[in-house]
Structure 1
Amino acid sequence: MDEMISNLLDTLQIDELHTCDRMSVATLSRPDETGPKYLTMSQGFDQEVLTVEEISDSGSVPELSVINRGELHVLLLDGEEIRGAKQNRVLNTSILVAPGSKCTVPVSCTEQGRWHYTTSRFEDSEVVMAQSLRQRKQASVSKNVREHQSFHSDQGEVWEGVDTLHCLLDISSETGAMRDAYEARQEDLEKYVRAFADIRDVNGIAVFLEGKLAGLDFISYRPAMNDLLPKLIGSYAMDALCEEENGRREPDPGEVQSLLSRIGRCALEVQKSEGVGDDARLDGPDLQGAALIALNTVIHLSAFIKADEKSFKGGMSSFSHRRQFRDSM
């Protein structure tokens, strides 16, 4: 397991640096790209081979049922949101769903004020959770993996993060839905997506916000990365919209190489994935990450610079109202 991640880090190349306003993206590629083909969640829905639904009529907030009726594996990405059924959710970790299989996946609620059916099944929400919220969710999931061998998140912290996002962007949402923030700022987010639309056929991105390195995502299969890239750009761009003007500096691609080196020195804890393969948790002094390793390949690797607790919670000081969820949860 260690060797597989090390080999990946040793072969990753840092390519071009692209910049739009407060956000810069360094592309990553693996010259000897090999490994399995698979569909993304969006492609699985589009091809009508993927079904996601509540695990029962009564439902369970932290779990959903996934069926893959296709002939290829389907990748569900950590932080991807799905909407519908009883409430919108995000994936707690990346999962590869085998062809012709059914599994139960761990999720977090991103719509605190609804617990009733709007549709019988879920559909693609077309967004990935904002990077800062995704980082904090990943941290709580990793803690639960270490202490309880569970992929559950700190649900209260997820709701708090969504509330903070609405507060920082001055967004009102009747059901506390994270997606409402994306819809309200769709024009601004699309500006970033269009600015980075020329990025194609890469294996990963490392993203700077206001010149500071925030994190990176690696996807083993380039066609899958092409499909996921707009969502990932939107995830980081949502944080760019929330950034305060603190004096922008020029992004340094050398920091990406340093991050790759530090990932290789992280402590590693491995647990069987809820889908195919293994889930590896990475922890270092100033960074955290996770990797899905399956079919003899690092399918997905993410790494984030650990959040500054004080700066993250500073935006909450003027936002004391907490939405109370219905008793039926």
Structure 2
Amino acid sequence: MNSNGVFSMVRLRLHVGQGTHRGALTVFPVWTDASPVTGLATGATAEVDVAERAGAPSVDQLVVMNRSAKPTLLLAGELLEGGWQNRTLTASTVLAPATPTVLPVLCVEHGRWGGETAHRRQARRAPVALRPHLEQSDAQERVWRRVSGYSAVAGPSPTDSLTDRLDRAKVEAPDLTPLAGQSGVLIGIAGRPVALELFGSRRALSAHWRPLLEAAALDALGRPAVRTTAALARAFAERVQGTDLTAVRGAGAGRRYGGGGRIRVDDVRWRDRTVHLTAIDLTHPVLEAS
């Protein structure tokens, strides 16, 4: 890191393996030569309770409680289902144990307001096309438009719910498992890389693996069945690896860094180690309608 608080991703060497092509999707394994990060819980088995705000539910806020003795990583775009309506987290965070926290969220079910207090956590993810908009000033309107737009490829929903569209698309997700030592994945859609996600360990990647592929399958619906080449995937990873990042803000018990231009990189670090990094190509066609 230099005197301006900027550091380069060169400290994390990314290695991209052979891709698997299914329809419009191409899925590439990603490795790093960093040692695994331990001591964090994450994914569907993490002991996190989610509830509406007591007495006055709010569309843009939910209360979370980490019941584990370990800090717990929640991801931007993670879906919190049930309650008065299904929501998605706007930013990744590391939850300290035993501390109730109010987190910002967005609605992904425009046609429902009412129900139960508690939420279900399955660690499902919003598709890539929603995620760049989660912290914009008009984020809620953009997310509602995008969720409604999926009806053209994934059919209608009685409550205009993203989870209904994910349920229909998940059968299109490739039947893959992470390889030995793999801690990241690069997704190509219709012949172009769209996103790279890197976790602190293979275990953390495995905890989010199926939701990640199912979200990608929804973005791929209706897209041309064109393979993304290994050369394009590796060039994408090199761009990510060379991106200069600056401290953006806190992320609960962690810290968030960001940078890039056409390819936007967000890096959540805990104890100065990357626990979740996302890179998204903001010019990819899957984002055009959003």
| Partners of 1:311 and 1:71 in 2: CA distance | 39
Q: Look up the SS of the partner of 1:235 in the other structure.
A: helix
Gap regions ≥5 residues in structure 2:
none
Q: Which residue of 1 aligns with 2:267?
A: 291
Q: Which residue among 3, 6, 28 is the counterpart of 2:7?
A: 3
Q: Quick one: distance in 1 between partners of 2:169 and 2:237?
A: 32
Structure 1 residue corresponding to 2:50, chosen from 46, 49, 52: 52
- TM-score, with length taken from structure 1: 0.79
For residues 1-329 of structure 1, the aligned pairs below 5 Å read 2-3=6-7, 5-8=9-12, 11-44=13-46, 49-117=47-115, 119-134=116-131, 136-138=132-134, 141=135, 143=136, 154-169=139-154, 171-189=155-173, 192=174, 194=175, 196-197=176-177, 199=179, 201-243=181-223, 245=224, 248=226, 250-266=227-243, 268-284=245-261, 286-307=262-283, 312-313=288-289
Equivalent-residue separation in structure 2 for 1:129 and 1:309 (angstroms):
17
Cα separation, 1, equivalents of 2:198 and 2:53: 30
Shift of 1:69: 1.8
Aligned partners of 1:275 and 1:311: how far apart in 2?
29
Query: Relative contact order (C-alpha < 8 Å, sep 6+): which is higher?
Result: 2
In 1, the alpha carbon distance for the partners of 2:279 and 2:166 equals 23
For 1:120, the aligned partner's letter is T
Distance 1:165 1:278, change over 3 A: same
For residues 308 and 300 of structure 1, the distance between their equivalents in structure 2, rounded to whole angstroms, comes to 22
Count, aligned residues: 286
Q: Identity over aligned residues, as a percent?
A: 21
The TM-score, its normalising length taken from structure 2, stands at: 0.89
Q: Please identify runs of 4+ aligned residues in structure 1 that moved more than 6 A.
A: none
Q: Counting helix residues as a fraction of each chain, which structure ranks higher?
A: 1
SS in 2 for 1:256: helix
Write out per-residue CA displacement over residues 151-204 of structure 1, whole angstroms, 9 at most, x where no aligned residue.
xx61000000000011233x1211111111122334334xx2x2x236454110
Q: Distance in 1 between matches of 2:256 and 2:250?
A: 5
Taking the aligned partners of 2:205 and 2:285, their CA distance within structure 1 comes to 31
Cα pair distance change 1:94/1:198, threshold 3 Å: closer
Deviation (angstroms), 1:262: 2.3
- CA change 1:51–1:311 in 2 (3 A) is closer
Distance 1:296 1:260 in 2: 21
2:266 counterpart letter in structure 1: A
- Root-mean-square deviation (CA), in Å? 2.4
Gaps of 5+ in 1: 145-152, 317-329
1:83-121 CA-to-partner distances (Å, cap 9, x unmatched) read 11111011111111122222222211101111112x321
What letter corresponds to residue 302 of structure 1 in structure 2?
A: T
Matched to 2:146, the amino acid is G
